[in-house]
Amino acid sequence: MEMSQRADEISKEDYRTIVCTFLSTHKFNVVKNDPDVENAVFTQFLRYEEISEEKARYLAIIGASTAQHFYPYHKRETRQAIGIFTAFLGAVDDHGAQFLSGIQQFGQSIVGDTSQTSLLRDYKDLCSQFGNYYTPFCADRILVGTINFVSSTALENESHDFAHLSKAPNFPHYFRSMTGLSEAFAWLLLAEEFCSSARFDLFIQIAPDLMDYTDGLNDLLSFYKEYFLATEETNPICLRAKAEGCDLKKVLHSLCTELERYADRMKEVVSEDPELLRLLDAYLQGSIGLHISQIRYRLHELSLPV
């Protein structure tokens, strides 16, 4: 089976320079967690025997921080649901191998009655409750994104070692779009209280760019922990470099250019709706702030000028 060339290495200083340049041209916002949302997430995850108290606290911080950074103008009730949802994502991502059978059957459990752990059962039930906060179409997009994420996480945990063929350059983007949950995060922005008919018509036009921005930003700002600390060669940046037959530095520079293009294009589309522009700006700035502020990404080790 044909394999594309191995991605060239990149120095930590080169990566730091790329990130510093990106941050110098993009506004970002770091905010404190809502303690009520964080406590609600923590209390939820104390229920599961698979999750230690320390892990429950960690998931609560991540969940509440994501809800506050991405969706600061949403009602607290909605942010609480988003915080718990994000924590479930973290639990599946970190412990997928522990309950592999359950995540393999997750999608089918939604349409049928298959056996699940209490954690996965509650994750499924939460997805069904998003109709309380979102219109049916938006809630469906969140559900689709969730199923894509869980099933692709199962695939990763089945020890599949995909060969990334130079003749199939779109595969890394395709698989990344499933593993990143970007469809769910994008559509979580349009809570029902913001979803007028005219606003929906604008938002659906930017949804593809918002999904690609969400994945791309995470790829850029999680590269440090994945490549330099975990020494992973299967992260999205490395896979793209292999598929395109170019070095890592070129991929990172291209990604920064793409992120700027996505942001500019989305803002131009929604410029006629000041409220939607406000929501979008908060999401874009908060998504950067989340990565900068959370110890999970270890970016503080780079002494970034923030």
Task: Look at residue 242 and tell me whether its pLDDT is greater than 80.
Answer: yes
Amino acid at 131: G
pLDDT at 6: 39
Question: Does the residue 115 lie in any domain?
Answer: yes
Q: Compute the average pLDDT of residues 73-81.
A: 97
Question: Does the residue 56 lie in any domain?
Answer: yes
pTM: 0.90
Task: Look at residue 120 and tell me whether its pLDDT is greater than 50.
Answer: yes
Task: Look at residue 3 and tell me whether its pLDDT is greater than 50.
Answer: no
pLDDT at 97: 67
Are the CB atoms for 118 and 170 separated by under 8 Å? no
Contacts by 120-123 with C-beta closer than 8 Å and gap 24+?
120/92, 122/44, 122/47, 122/88, 123/88, 123/92
50 versus 62: which is more confidently predicted?
Answer: 62
Contacts by 161-165 with C-beta closer than 8 Å and gap 24+?
163/1, 163/2, 163/3, 164/3, 164/4, 164/239, 164/242, 164/243, 165/1, 165/2, 165/3, 165/4, 165/243
SS (H, E, C) the chain: CCCCCCCCCCCHHHHHHHHHHHHHCCCCCCCCCCHHHHHHHHHHHCCCCCCCHHHHHHHHHHHHHHHHHHCCCCCHHHHHHHHHHHHHHHHHHHHHHHHHHHHHCHHHHHHCCCCCCHHHHHHHHHHHHHHHCCCHHHHHHHHHHHHHHHHHHHHHHCCCCCCCCCCCCCHHHHHHHHHCCHHHHHHCCCCHHHCCHHHHHHHHHHHHHHHHHHHHHHHHHHHHHHHHHCCCCCCHHHHHHHHHCCCHHHHHHHHHHHHHHHHHHHHHHHCCCHHHHHHHHHHHHHHHHHHHHCHHHCHHHHCCCC
Task: Using the Cα atoms of residue 78, residue 87, residue 98 and residue 238 in order, give the sign of their dihedral.
Answer: positive
pLDDT at 2: 39
Chain-centre distance for alpha carbon 18: 21
pLDDT at 128: 81
pLDDT at 37: 98
pLDDT at 164: 67
> Residue 285's closest CA among 213, 236, 219, 188?
213
Question: Does the residue 2 lie in any domain?
Answer: no
Reported confidence tier of residue 96, pLDDT bands at 50, 70, 90: low
Task: Look at residue 4 and tell me whether its pLDDT is greater than 60.
Answer: no
Reported confidence tier of residue 7, pLDDT bands at 50, 70, 90: very low
Task: State the CB neighbour count (10 A cutoff) for residue 229.
Answer: 11
pLDDT at 8: 59
Q: Domains in the chain: how many in total? A: 1
Question: Does the residue 5 lie in any domain?
Answer: no
Residue with tokens 């459990």: 109
Question: Does the residue 96 lie in any domain?
Answer: yes
Domain that holds residue 68: 12-302
Question: Does the residue 7 lie in any domain?
Answer: no
Q: Compute the average pLDDT of residues 254-269.
A: 98
pLDDT at 247: 92
Q: CATH no. for residue 135?
A: 1.10.600.10
Question: Does the residue 85 lie in any domain?
Answer: yes
Task: Look at residue 103 and tell me whether its pLDDT is greater than 90.
Answer: no
Task: Look at residue 193 and tell me whether its pLDDT is greater than 90.
Answer: yes
Cα separation, 91 vs 50, in Å, equals 9
Q: Compute the average pLDDT of residues 113-128.
A: 76
Question: Does the residue 107 lie in any domain?
Answer: yes
pLDDT at 127: 81
